[in-house]
Chains A and B, each alone.
Chain A
Amino acid sequence: MRNQPAAATASRPQARAADLPARRRAGRRRSWLPYLTLLPASVLIAAFVVFPVATVFYYSVQQYDVTRPYLNGFVGLENFRQVLTSDDVFRTSLAVSVKWVGSEVVGQLVLGMILALVLNSAFRGRGLARSLLFSPWAVSGVVVTTMWKLLYNPFTGMLDTVLMSAGVIHAPIQWLSDLNTVFGAVVAAELWRGVPFFAIVLLAALQGIPTDLYEAASVDGAGRWQAFTRVTLPLLKDAIILATLLRGVWEFNNVDLIYTMTAGGPGDLTTTLPLYVVNQAIRYHNFGYGSALSVIGFVVLLLFAIVYLRLGRFGRDD
């Protein structure tokens, strides 16, 4: 170390001391910068997410009907009491929601996995196959409904025509009016639209799995099924958990396809909880009651997400 003059070394601590306030000021300025850059997004989230959600919570404790202001006012937990103790439609709609989410998520996961495994292998025309098989994802719910309603039409629909020609059925089936077929018919329409989402997510995750793991498994004598269950599935765990959670939440909140296909009927056979909220708040103008239903739906989803992530040990290596 070069010897520096004593004056220089003596002044270095002093210089450092003189620099300290400036460095502290610079540090404080730097610590504000991330918040400033987050500000625009935060304002948007506050305006379009936090404020509306807070409004829903507010109205959930009100009697609020826009066409009957003479009945409006604070009612405390009365809306919640009615929902939880005397509303049969709430109970059936919650049950339909659970059935709907279960059918869709499991169905889309299984079919999406099959599709992803097929598309992960090399074959001629794979690029075209990928485009075609992913295209339903781009179609809006209303267009999907129109298409499937035409297919299901008992007088002119292709489905009944093909099944009758093949001798599978002998009379047209009223797919959307028959108690035994309406739920499955709506599920099938949404499956068609939703499978590509799982296929895309799982295909991306599959392509991240190193091929030497499969080679090593093969050397150890593992067959295809063992390779799938011991190599593929564990490495896809986080992708599966995230995709099923997201899709579960989206399907729970799905309204457009069911509303346009059956409007929740016949009876309340296909009325899910969010569709019941739409009916109460929008069609029957009962915003207070609809808000209470929304709050309950929010709590149900929140609990589900917390429990699901914990049980799935998301992000943790087993």
Chain B
Amino acid sequence: MRTPLSTLRGTAVALLAMLAVACGGGTSSNAGGAGTASAAPVTITFWDTNAGPDRTPVWQELIKRFEAANPNITVEYTGIPIAQQLQKLQAAIASGAVPDVANPLSSQLSGMVAQDGLLPLDKQFNSWSGKGDIPASLITSLRALVPDKKLYAIPLSGNMTTLYYRKDWIAQKGLKPPSTWDDFYTDVNALNDPAHNVYGFGFRGATGSASQLENWVFSEAGLTSYFDSKGNASIGSPAAVSVIQKAVGLYGKQTSKDDITHGFPEMVSEFDSGHAAMIMHNLGSYPQHITALGKDAVGAVTLPAMSGGKHVLLNSPNISAMVFKGTKHADAAWKFAAFLASADSVSYFNEKIGQIPSNEKVASAQWVKDNTGIQNALATQKLSSTTLVNPPWILPDYSAIESQMEPSLQKMLLGQVTPSQFASTLADKLATSKRQYDQAHKP
């Protein structure tokens, strides 16, 4: 006689059996491990780490072109806001749910390699027909960011921190464009008009603030390296503290008090809506400013020179194509990454976003010659009096240190922390991180 319990037992066993079949049989046409070359249809996933209305359509167009040329490969696009991209990538690596390809910044390479999340691309790159078009210096700099010096990323786009200013207001007031730091402070004061809600400078006080301030300090103080021979971080030097003091002194007088909560969108909005005469951001926002204000109203130069005419500029990270170790379609993933790094794709992408193409075939394109921001950046970089400094992206926690300093920077703007304390804290964190890294990677 069947009892309720025996019915339940039977049902439970049946359910468990179904579950075992569902979980255990997981082979599909996509399995086969990394390195499987196949003409069979495959689907790869691509994570865009700076998704938004400006860039998403660009990537989707590139995907369309790739799929037209490779009908057996489908690319699934996933857009991630830039504010969360590092967290999502690290969580994906930790959980194993990685995309096949993504386009993060090269400054994040070290951390993801430390997590053993990326596939080395040396073999693929060396046999790629387009390898000669990628500047050797870029490849060298990418290898330098990881302990084993392998190539884990292919550069797509270069960048530079840029000073955007209202060219029209400068001309109206008969001022000199901010080509030196002295001119910068003169212009900021002269263009400041708080009574009409217009400020001389739009300060970035929230997310990304520490990075912007570092660019400013290195440039104005003329710091030519991040660490001295004893491993002390130069951001803690008296010259750096002096510049921080001057920069912070603008807050609330030549800047809106609201700037303390301004990240990228608010800062750019302040400039584009005519409430700030100058901001600092990278080349990527140039098209946006032109659209908002017109080409004749916007000037774009690298950070100003010191009084002797010498420039010190912090290098900016490259947008790079990376293939993840967990990919089940390494060949298809590499094919897509190589397509993104090809001359046509690099030209299309960088023309749309206004950044420096990382492919030498594109350097002579007309749009590059017409882009004032890019031309100014390249010209300054090529000067013999310019020193380019590499931030310590090799330290896996460098981005985290900058994030940690953001609340402290806000306290500094509020007068709760002195510039000296801020600089000293940042310098300690950097020095400690470098010491721990060097210790762990002693030959």
Q: Which residues of A contact B (CB under 8 A)?
A: 29, 32-33, 36, 65-71, 89, 154-155, 174, 176-179, 262-268, 271, 279, 282-286
Q: Are A33 and B4 in contact, CB atoms less than 8 angstroms apart? A: yes
Q: Are A282 and B87 in contact, CB atoms less than 8 angstroms apart? A: yes
20 contacting pairs across A/B (C-beta < 8 A) = A29-B4, A29-B5, A33-B4, A67-B110, A67-B115, A69-B114, A176-B258, A177-B258, A264-B407, A265-B261, A265-B410, A266-B205, A266-B411, A267-B407, A267-B416, A271-B407, A282-B87, A283-B400, A284-B403, A285-B400
CA–CA, A284 to B401, complex, Å? 7
Q: Which residues of B contact A (CB under 8 A)?
A: 3-5, 8, 12, 87, 90, 93-94, 110-112, 114-115, 197, 205-207, 256-261, 273, 275, 396-397, 400, 403-404, 406-407, 410-411, 413-414, 416, 436-437, 440-441
Instruction: Identify which of B8, B207, B414 contacts A36 (C-beta below 8 A).
Output: B8
Instruction: Identify which of B4, B273, B400, B414 contacts A67 (C-beta below 8 A).
Output: B400
Kindly list the 10 A-B residue pairs having the minimum CB-CB distance in the complex, ordered from nearest. A70-B440, A67-B111, A67-B396, A267-B411, A266-B410, A284-B400, A174-B258, A266-B260, A177-B260, A29-B5
Shortest CB distance A78–B (Å): 16
Q: Which residue of chain A lies nearest to B117 when distances are taken between CB atoms in the complex?
A: A66
Q: Which residue of chain A lies nearest to B273 when distances are taken between CB atoms in the complex?
A: A155
Instruction: Known A-B contacts: A33-B4, A266-B205, A271-B407. Give 8 more (CB < 8 A).
Output: A36-B12, A66-B115, A69-B115, A70-B441, A174-B257, A174-B258, A263-B206, A283-B403
Given the known inter-chain contacts A67-B397, A155-B273, please indicate yes or no for A284 contacting B404, CB distance below 8 A: yes
- Interface majority SS (helix, strand, loop, mixed), chain B: helix
Q: Are A155 and B197 in contact, CB atoms less than 8 angstroms apart? A: yes
Q: Which residues of A contact B257 (CB under 8 A)?
A: 174, 177-178
CA–CA, A154 to B197, complex, Å? 10
Instruction: Identify which of B273, B411, B440 contacts A71 (C-beta below 8 A).
Output: B440
Q: Which residue of chain A lies nearest to B439 when distances are taken between CB atoms in the complex?
A: A70
Shortest CB distance B418–A (Å): 14
CA–CA, A170 to B410, complex, Å? 26
Shortest CB distance B10–A (Å): 13
Q: Which residues of B contact A155 (CB under 8 A)?
A: 197, 273, 275
**Interface core residue of A29, A155, A262, A267 (most chain B CB under 10 Å):** A267
Q: Which residues of A contact B90 (CB under 8 A)?
A: 66-67, 285
Q: Which residue of chain B lies nearest to A179 when distances are taken between CB atoms in the complex?
A: B414
**Interface core residue of B396, B411, B413 (most chain A CB under 10 Å):** B396
